[in-house]
Amino acid sequence: MEGLIKGLIDVALGHGDNDDDQANSQSRDERSRSTWAQVVSGDQDDAEDSAGRTPQDHNRNRWSRNEEESGGRNEVRRPQKVVYEGYEKDNEGSQHDYNRNQWNRKEEGEGKNDGWEAVNKKPPRRQQKVAMDNWNGYKQPPTEQKYSDEVDYGTNIEPSEEELADLSQACNKLWELDSNRLVPGEDYQIDCGEGKKAYQKEDMAQGSLFYRLREDIFKRPTYSRFCSLLDNYNPNEGSKEVVTSQEKQEQAAFIEEISRTAPVKYLHKYLSSKGIVSENYQDFKRMMTSLWFDLYGRGGTSSSSSAFEHVFVGEIKQRGEHEVSGFHNWLQFYLEEAKGRVDYQGYIFPRRRGQTPDSETQLLTIQFEWSGILKSVSSTLVGVSPEFEIALYTLCFYMGGEDNYIQLGPYPVNIKCYRLGNDKIGSVFPIAEC
């Protein structure tokens, strides 16, 4: 009887109701998910802007609010990436090294998401380490460097009469010679997100452009030497560059390394047969170093820029409204995105219908923010080697005009080339012609 009376009192007071307990538990879970949405959507980063960190894109608060308003109901979910001791493993089992930051540790500690996450919010930016163990050796004098073995490519690097008469065929030959080009889906994976017009400012990409890149890519000599150069510059246009002796050694070492590859050997054969460069290969390498790394004025300041800095690293214009110029290299994009400095915002619709880019596409026209500053349209060749891009742009600079309509494998491309005087590259980049 005493138990019956106690039970009636509990019911009257609302205690012990299983449905209510479940509802309260569900409410707590929803609030937990809402709080989690705030964490991963970048609200913490927004709060840290006053400390000088990179500003986040304007849509992140909206995603967070949508999560809070929905309370986690009717979510479409997908499996979450698995983290193993600082490495991210994909389904094929390859590893991608990156720093285990706070959101990883929080998720592992709470263990309440059951390995799932909502797909209608922007994932946090991933940070990862890059294999740089051998980069310090690049700062040694050229005579102390260790380079790849010279390879005899035989007649394969001899330009044909047809190629000498047709720039497009010559550029396509460079594409064929790029044995160091990566294979989409095997060496890396990208997620193009959704498309947009160039004038649209909405963020159409839920996550990063690059989802995975094989770790050993950065151990390839030309790739690693290229990446070691990227932090030698002040990206603010008009800021005077100070080039140290070590940086000059890195430049010379990079040119020496790519000069041992087929695309650059072909470039030398082509230009020397036209009488543009010396047949002496050492003279040719000095010319390449000067062409790409000699400083010139930009933004009203002398010695503030170079062809390499503008085309591959990118610059931020300081006059008037800030905007990004240059920045056409996929490796720079990958590294800056991994550091949280680049926010990919979707691809630009192709001119022709039915040409929507996908994870296999290696010529992309995209929109992104770099350190919070928008670049509304930017084209880049994804997965190509550094030696290929250097050879391609050098060939178009010497043999072409401002517009160079060529074929690169399956891609019709216009290599746009702007000159400073007759002997300097102001800018050069691809434009998709489909």
pLDDT digits (tens, 9 = 90+) for 50-61: 333 333 344 434
- Tokens standing for 369? 């923010």
> Using 50, 70 and 90 to split pLDDT, how confident is the model at 87?
very low
Classify residue 282 by burial, with Cβ atoms within 10 Å: 0-12, 13-18, 19+.
exposed
Which residue would you say has higher pLDDT here, 103 or 133? 133
pLDDT digits (tens, 9 = 90+) for 284-293: 999 999 999 9
Q: Would you list the domain boundaries of the chain?
A: 23-48+55-69, 79-116, 135-432
Total residues belonging to the chain? 434
Q: Which residues make Cβ contacts (< 8 Å) with residue 156, sequence separation at least 6?
A: 177, 262
Secondary structure class of 321 (helix, strand, coil): coil
Q: Is 328 a catalytic residue?
A: yes
Is residue 368 pLDDT above 90, yes or no?
Answer: yes
- Average pLDDT of span 31-39: 31
* Distance from C-alpha of 404 to C-alpha of 389, rounded to nearest angstrom: 15
* Residue whose C-alpha is closest to residue 185's, from 382, 345, 388: 382
Active-site residue, selected from the candidate residues 196, 265, 375, 416: 375
**% of the chain surpassing 70 pLDDT:** 67
pLDDT digits (tens, 9 = 90+) for 279-315: 999 999 999 999 999 999 998 889 999 999 999 999 9
Active-site residue, selected from the candidate residues 328, 339, 416, 424: 328
Question: For residue 422, what pLDDT is reported?
Answer: 86
Question: For residue 153, what pLDDT is reported?
Answer: 86
Secondary structure class of 116 (helix, strand, coil): strand
Distinct helix (H) and strand (E) counts, the chain: 14, 18
**Prediction pTM value:** 0.71
Secondary structure class of 204 (helix, strand, coil): coil
Is residue 331 pLDDT above 80, yes or no?
Answer: yes
Q: Position of tokens 């609302």? A: 14
Active-site residue, selected from the candidate residues 310, 322, 339, 424: 310
Q: Is 375 a catalytic residue?
A: yes
Q: Cβ of 154: how many Cβ atoms within 10 Å?
A: 7
pLDDT digits (tens, 9 = 90+) for 154-170: 888 999 999 999 999 99
> CA quadruple 70, 76, 80, 81: dihedral positive or negative?
negative
Which residue would you say has higher pLDDT here, 116 or 170? 170
The string of DSSP codes covering 237-300 is TTPPP---HHHHHHHHHHHHHHTTSHHHHHHHHHHHHTTSS-S-HHHHHHHHHHHHH--EEETT
> Using 50, 70 and 90 to split pLDDT, how confident is the model at 250?
very high
Q: Which residues make Cβ contacts (< 8 Å) with residue 70, sequence separation at least 6?
A: none
* Distance from C-alpha of 278 to C-alpha of 290, rounded to nearest angstrom: 14
> CA quadruple 313, 246, 239, 419: dihedral positive or negative?
negative
Q: Is 219 a catalytic residue?
A: no
* Distance from C-alpha of 171 to C-alpha of 262, rounded to nearest angstrom: 13
